[in-house]
Structure 1
């Protein structure tokens, strides 16, 4: 409707209602027009469009239907993560959408363009679209809002804001159920991924299994492997190492066979964690090293966590010089990457522990680590910090403080493992 178009282009021009209405009509008149409560007179409409510097030709329903179908077809290409085909279609679609005056077409394309840039890990472009879409989130049709929330969840996940990512993921699921929209397995997978990051193991495993079932039905092997990784991580956390090993081994075989590089990097990392939990230090170091090499060679950004685990393994076998070398390598890259602050904090804590810099360690945990982990709901890392403080205060005979930090750790574990 014409009111929607005036509202859209006014916001695009960063004009207030007062700016647009001045000398043409009252603000209340313009507000009624934008909310489609009244049709403007031809004279006022002409003046408003002139001030907005736009010409709105009519588009027939067939043209709009074909363009809408093309956008949704492009989204299916994005779901398959066929980036070559997605890139080829993007420029042509963008040009067609640019010449369209239909607001729903523009918003539909913007929502899926948001997903496109997230897949390309172009965070700057994704951020621009996130800010643009935020202005219109209350105006999106329910189905489009469902996609917007699910993609916003991915956006915040990539920013390492896991709590906000979870909020948007739950919004997508709730809205999908409300409008009887078939919830895509990607949304359940995204929820599982977030819960895994937050160490909410039973929830992560349940949702990963649900996503795995749905991806298996559609034959999406790549996503099936991703689900198997989460399930394996959960099994290891639930102290079922043999079951975890079986999951990881099968997934790694498929990832190698299909040459899925990113999955191989994550699998070697998690197999390293499995070996570490079984005290197979040499095997753990080999796996972490392989994961690190793959990530560096293929420019996979999430390698700082692997660096941390490598340093931790070398420290555990008293090879502190090598551990510190890895920590230095990790910290030197923190300024170059959109770093997960969790990894930065854990690297610093490990560095202070190895160096025996007790006062710096305690100060850092009190003032930097615990506030961040608490705010980010990263309870597992918060527990580790409480236990380090508990040990420290016990050694200096501050038993009341020591008891407090150990009890805080126990409280968090009980609260989050039910």
Structure 2
């Protein structure tokens, strides 16, 4: 055990193995000591302790205050999406975290790891750390740690598009706020996360209020990147509530900020939401242009949403050749993602959305439309309880049966579409 404690103190002092063992023993021998493969003799241990400027009694002292400060700094870099800084803190903390048996420190490490891997979109590691966090009992934890638990587990549920679960977790965290003294950047982050969550459950009024609360704080301290991102989310909430004029105003502000700070990710998000605004205003060509611009600024899985936006508009325009061309872009993007990482529910969702267009508009595949809709596509969205997608696909099934003069079947599918929309509204 002395080896691991030597390693902890060396890392804490940011020294290399060579600096500690030079003139005492070889690096390979010292490495075996640190990994507890060899127990050093007392005289050798004393020389190493002297090199570290600590006593034998001090060897086992681990600094919980320091690791908590590092965890807080790591979390802050994740909130601000400072990827390189976050990677640096992750490396330092990973080397030290095993020395701390405190349950709160272990839980905070697991929770912040979840946020880090959400930022990096590493699905398997998100799941691993969710399991680790859930394995730690919440009993006898501080109120602040429990707040972080519900907030970050809420964000994780939102990442997996389980918005009802996300909302419940966020509401639990919200109920704790008044009894806590939180850092300003944590409160801003929480209001924005909760605003995003309730937006997806259809509570547009609460979403607008929460996002505005975060934006007021961002603007007071000139946090331009956070302000720009918040305005894109606010624009979505305003658009879905039918306030197109204010939506356009917020998108214009976000575009100006993206130019000021030269941030392409922010511009891509703004263009995606601008495309959604044009689509809702029935301006298909303008929507397609915005989606295409967003697509060009993005890579990987971030391209799936603009591709789907383009497909929806070409469907409205009844342009089958363009649809098939963009379906191919979508399928190629998903295949590339599969080569890089494990297949996720997010990619599965878009793959099925793209297959819908393939079965409907590709002559060689159109004979599969009815069967694949019933066997593959609809069951997926029914299991996810995605009422908006279900209403859309039920309506397409109604059109299919109407076109084949099967009126009773057509009416039944249209009724299912209406029930899905009504269920979404009541929810």
Instruction: Give the TM-score of the pair, scaled to structure 2.
Output: 0.73
For residues 195 and 102 of structure 2, the distance between their equivalents in structure 1, rounded to whole angstroms, comes to 36
Measured in 2, the distance between the counterparts of 1:237 and 1:104 equals: 40
Q: Say if 2:404 is the partner of 1:391.
A: no
Paired residues of 1:201 and 1:234 also in contact (CA < 8 A): yes
Note the C-alpha offset of 1:417: 3.8
| Equivalent pair of 2:144/2:180 in contact (CA under 8 Å) | no
| Cα distance in structure 1, aligned partners of 2:277 and 2:174 | 32
CA distance in 2, matches of 1:254, 1:210: 19
- The answer for unaligned runs of 5 or more in structure 1 is 1-55
Structure 1 residues 201 and 407: CA distance shift in structure 2, 3 A? farther
Distance in 2, matches of 1:392 and 1:318, equals 15
Shift of 1:348: 1.6
User: What's the RMSD between the two structures over aligned residues?
Assistant: 3.1
Equivalent in the alignment of 1:33: none
Residue 58 (structure 1) shift: 9.3
Which residue of the other structure, out of 259, 262, 280, is the alignment partner of 1:277?
280
Per the TM alignment, residue 176 of structure 1 is displaced from its structure 2 partner at its CA by 4.1
The Cα shift of 1:60 comes to 6.2
Does residue 252 (structure 1) correspond to residue 255 (structure 2)? The answer is yes
Conserved? CA contact 2:359–2:368, under 8 Å: yes
Residues 313-364 of structure 1 show CA distances to partners (whole Å, capped at 9, x for unaligned) of 3344444222201101212332443444332222122222223666533333
The CA deviation at 1:367 is: 3.0
| 1:342-357 equivalences in 2 (<5 Å) | 342-355=349-362
Aligned to 2:379: 371
Q: Secondary structure at the match of 2:138?
A: helix
Q: Distance in 2 between matches of 1:170 and 1:89?
A: 30
Q: Which residue of 1 aligns with 2:302?
A: 302
1:14-413 matched pairs, under 5 angstroms: 63-139=63-139, 140-176=141-177, 179-180=179-180, 182=182, 184-198=187-201, 201-296=204-299, 299=300, 301-337=301-337, 338=344, 339-355=346-362, 360-413=368-421
Normalising by structure 1, what TM-score? Answer: 0.74
398-407 or 344-353, which moves further after superposition? Answer: 398-407
Unaligned runs of 5+ in 2: 1-56, 338-343
In 2: Cα distance, 1:174 partner to 1:128 partner: 28
* C-alpha distance after superposition, 1:341-395 (max 9, x if no partner): 3322221222222236665333333333333323323211111112112223334
Q: Deviations over 1:55-80 (max 9, x none)?
A: x999669x333433343233333333
- 1:252 Cα offset (Å): 1.1
Given the superposition, is the C-alpha separation of residues 332 and 78 from structure 1 closer, same or farther in structure 2, using an over 3 Å criterion?
Answer: closer
Contact map agreement 1:353 1:361 (CA 8 A) in 2: yes
- Per-residue Cα deviation, 1:108-136 (whole angstroms, up to 9, x for no partner): 33332333333233333333222222110
Q: What's the secondary structure of 1:350's corresponding residue?
A: helix
- Aligned partner of 2:50 in structure 1 is none
Secondary structure of 1:184's aligned partner = helix
Deviations 1:21-75 (A, max 9, x none): xxxxxxxxxxxxxxxxxxxxxxxxxxxxxxxxxxx999669x3334333432333
- Cα 1:336–1:69 change in 2 (3 A) is same
Which SS does the other structure have where 2:109 is aligned?
helix
Choose 253-262 or 366-375, whichever is displaced more: 366-375
